[in-house]
Amino acid sequence: SSSSSSSSAVAKESEEQVGNMAEVAAWVGAAVAFGLGVGAVMGAEKAEEFFAGYLLEQSLSVDNLFVFVLVFDYFKVPLASQPRVLNYGIWGAMVMRAAMIVAGYEAVTNFKPILLVFAGVLIFSSYKLIAEGEEEEEEDMSENAIVKFCSDLLPVSKEYDGENFFTTENGAKIATPLLLCLCVIELSDVVFAVDSIPAVFGITEDPFIVYSSNIFAIMGLRSLFAFVATMVAELEYLQTAVAAVLGFVGCKMVVEFGGVEIPTEASLAVVVGMLGAGVALSLAKKDDGEDEKDVDKAA
């Protein structure tokens, strides 16, 4: 009976994965439909800006989710409680990005050279991602500045209390580790908004395109999370591809500030090409690894 229960668990898991994949596909489909609508109403140039922005934000969001996975792992958050934190994290990401977009748009409109600051942020982020990739060591969350800051700020109970953010210990109300985990995720949302907003301003300065591309990328996060949690280990070149895209957008902003215009379709092609190459190389390497395992087994 144990084998039948384990096979039913596997069946349930694969059913969930299919459900998640269908949800991811539905969100991507909605974004494509929206982009085509933008093209019909506002013209092809705006549609290209939307698609370039959306792809850029979606790839950064995957990186954002990777941090969620690490944080949940570090705090040993029970599976049943993860969706609650995830929902708050995603709403938090929406609000943070909306605020950053308004601030970024005001700054860009009133003071053009701020684009050079944005470009600097992107080029630095690109360098950091590549350097991290080369070090290849597991991130120790206990050394993470955000985790340290939140841990010092909040007195926290030792145990989880279901999905509650607060519990009573020795007659006093005290935060549970779930609230600490949520604080870490919300603060990491701010850090990611600092990357993602300059990146999309590198593609377009139209606030409607900036916000809509961001929202469509974030709306798919919940269903992407389960997918990313299983796939992240397998897409090892994705981070390098995201770093290359950030570097490209940063350099594009500098060049355009100098008066050289790079057409949106060229930017879109570069973004698609770099991300596609990252995913393709990762999958090819994974297949090679599996082939080697099969050969070893046969031997």
Predicted TM-score (pTM) above 0.85: no
Helix (H, G, I), strand (E, B) or coil at 249: helix
Q: How far apart are CA 290 and CA 274, in angstroms?
A: 25
pLDDT at 79: 80
**Among 20-24, 209-213, 215-219, 273-277, which range has the highest average pLDDT?**
209-213
* Distance (Å) of CA 177 to CA 62, 159, 164: 24, 7, 9
User: CA end-to-end span of the chain, whole Å?
Assistant: 33
What's the pLDDT tens digit per position in 227-285?
777 776 677 787 788 788 888 888 887 887 888 888 877 877 888 888 888 888 888 88
Outline where 111-233 has alpha helix (H). 114-135, 145-153, 177-201, 207-219, 221-231
| CA proximity to 143, closest of 74, 48, 221, 84 | 74
* Strand blocks (E) in the chain: 166-169, 172-175
- Asked whether 264 and 52 are in contact (CB, 8 A), the reply is yes
Q: How far apart are CA 180 and CA 75, in angstroms?
A: 9
pLDDT at 299: 59
- Asked whether 199 and 56 are in contact (CB, 8 A), the reply is yes
**What is the helix (H) or strand (E) element at residue 88, kind and residue range?**
helix 82-110
What's the pLDDT tens digit per position in 55-106?
888 887 777 777 787 788 888 888 888 888 888 888 887 788 788 888 888 8
| CA proximity to 31, closest of 62, 66, 55 | 55
